[in-house]
Structure 1
Amino acid sequence: MRTLYLDAFSGISGDMFLGAMLDLGLDFDALEQELAKLHVKGYHLTHQRLAKSSIYGTSFDVEVAGGKDHGFVETHHHAGHTVAEGHHHHDARHLNDILALIDASDLSATVIEHAKAIFTEIAQAEATVHDMPLAEVHFHEVGALDSIVDIVGCCVALELMKIDHIIASPLTDGSGFINVAHGQMPVPVPAVMQMRVGSQIPINQRLDIHTELITPTGMGLVKTLVSEFGPLPADETPTKIGYGFGQRDTGGFNALRAVLFEKKN
Structure 2
Amino acid sequence: MTTLVLGAQTGISGDMTVAALLDLGADFEKLQQVLATLPDQQFQIAVSRVKKNALTACDFKVTLTNGAADTDHDMNYLFGEKAHHPKTSRHEHPEASTAAHDHEHHHRDHRHLDDIFRLLDQTSATDRAKNIAKKIFTIVAEAEAKAHGVAIDEVHFHEVGALDSIVDILSVAVLIDDLNVDQVIVTALGEGYGEIRCQHGILPIPVPAVSHIAEAHGLTLSRIDCKGEFVTPTGAAIVAALKTAEQLPQRYKILKSGLGAGKRNYDRPSLLRASLIQATGDQCGQDKVIELSTNIDDSTAETLGFTLEKLYAHGALEAWFTPIYTKKCRPAYILSVLCKPDQQEKLENIIFSNTTTIGIRSREVFRRILKRHQLTVQTPYGDAEVKVCEVPDQEGVFHTRFYPEYETVKRLAKEHNLDLPGLYRLVQNAAENA
Identify the range of structure 1 (115-124 vs 235-244) with the bigger mean alpha-carbon deviation: 235-244
1:31–1:156 Cα contact (<8 Å) kept: yes
Q: Distance between the aligned counterparts of 2:197 and 2:223, measured in 1?
A: 19
In structure 2, the partner of 1:100 is: 118
Asked if 1:72 corresponds to 2:86, the answer is: no
Asked if 1:214 corresponds to 2:235, the answer is: no
Q: Which amino acid aligns with 2:239?
A: V
**Residue segments in structure 2 that go unaligned for 5+ positions in a row:** 71-89, 284-434
- Deviation >4 Å, runs of 4+: none
For residues 205-231 of structure 1, the C-alpha deviation after alignment (integer angstroms, 9 at most, x for no partner) is 23x32211111111111011111113x
In structure 2, the partner of 1:109 is: 127
Which of 232, 237, 252 does residue 236 from structure 1 map onto?
Answer: 252
Q: Distance between the aligned counterparts of 1:203 and 1:39, measured in 2?
A: 36
Shift of 1:50: 2.4
Larger radius of gyration: 2
Correspondence list, 1:85-96, <5 A: 85=103, 87-88=105-106, 90-96=108-114
Q: Distance between the aligned counterparts of 1:226 and 1:241, measured in 2?
A: 18
Q: Which amino acid aligns with 2:188?
A: P
Asked if 1:149 corresponds to 2:164, the answer is: no
- State the SS of the aligned residue for 2:185: strand
Shift of 1:82: 3.3
In structure 2, the partner of 1:7 is: 7
Asked if 1:50 corresponds to 2:66, the answer is: no
Shift of 1:156: 0.3
In structure 1, the partner of 2:197 is: 179
1:73–1:182 Cα contact (<8 Å) kept: no
Which of 269, 272, 281 does residue 253 from structure 1 map onto?
Answer: 269
Q: Distance between the aligned counterparts of 1:14 and 1:83, measured in 2?
A: 27
Which of 72, 77, 83 does residue 101 from structure 2 map onto?
Answer: 83
Shift of 1:95: 1.0
In structure 1, the partner of 2:430 is: none
| Greater RCO, 1 or 2 (C-alpha within 8 Å, sep 6+) | 1
> RMSD value over aligned CA atoms?
1.9
Q: Distance between the aligned counterparts of 1:148 and 1:253, measured in 2?
A: 25
Q: Distance between the aligned counterparts of 2:216 and 2:168, measured in 1?
A: 25
Shift of 1:201: 1.3
Shift of 1:89: 7.1
Identify the range of structure 1 (64-73 vs 140-149) with the bigger mean alpha-carbon deviation: 64-73
1:94–1:137 Cα contact (<8 Å) kept: yes
- State the SS of the aligned residue for 1:5: strand
Q: Distance between the aligned counterparts of 1:115 and 1:216, measured in 2?
A: 14
TM-score of the pair, normalised by structure 2: 0.57
TM-score of the pair, normalised by structure 1: 0.91
- State the SS of the aligned residue for 2:37: helix
In structure 1, the partner of 2:429 is: none
For residues 219-261 of structure 1, the C-alpha deviation after alignment (integer angstroms, 9 at most, x for no partner) is 111011111113x433432112211000111211310011111
1:21–1:157 Cα contact (<8 Å) kept: yes
For residues 149-202 of structure 1, the C-alpha deviation after alignment (integer angstroms, 9 at most, x for no partner) is 100100001111222211012111111111112221111010010112233211
In structure 2, the partner of 1:39 is: 39
Q: Distance between the aligned counterparts of 2:255 and 2:8, measured in 1?
A: 19
Residue-pair matches, total: 260
1:71–1:142 Cα contact (<8 Å) kept: no
- State the SS of the aligned residue for 1:198: helix
1:38–1:107 Cα contact (<8 Å) kept: no
For residues 91-129 of structure 1, the C-alpha deviation after alignment (integer angstroms, 9 at most, x for no partner) is 320111111221233221101111111111100110110
2:57–2:259 Cα contact (<8 Å) kept: yes
1:76–1:84 Cα contact (<8 Å) kept: no
- State the SS of the aligned residue for 1:196: helix
**Residue segments in structure 1 that go unaligned for 5+ positions in a row:** none
- State the SS of the aligned residue for 1:172: strand
Shift of 1:22: 1.4
Shift of 1:85: 5.0
Asked if 1:120 corresponds to 2:177, the answer is: no
Q: Distance between the aligned counterparts of 2:278 and 2:110, measured in 1?
A: 41
For residues 31-50 of structure 1, the C-alpha deviation after alignment (integer angstroms, 9 at most, x for no partner) is 11122233331111111112
**1:44–1:85: structure 2 CA closer, same or farther, 3 Å change rule?**
closer
- State the SS of the aligned residue for 2:110: coil
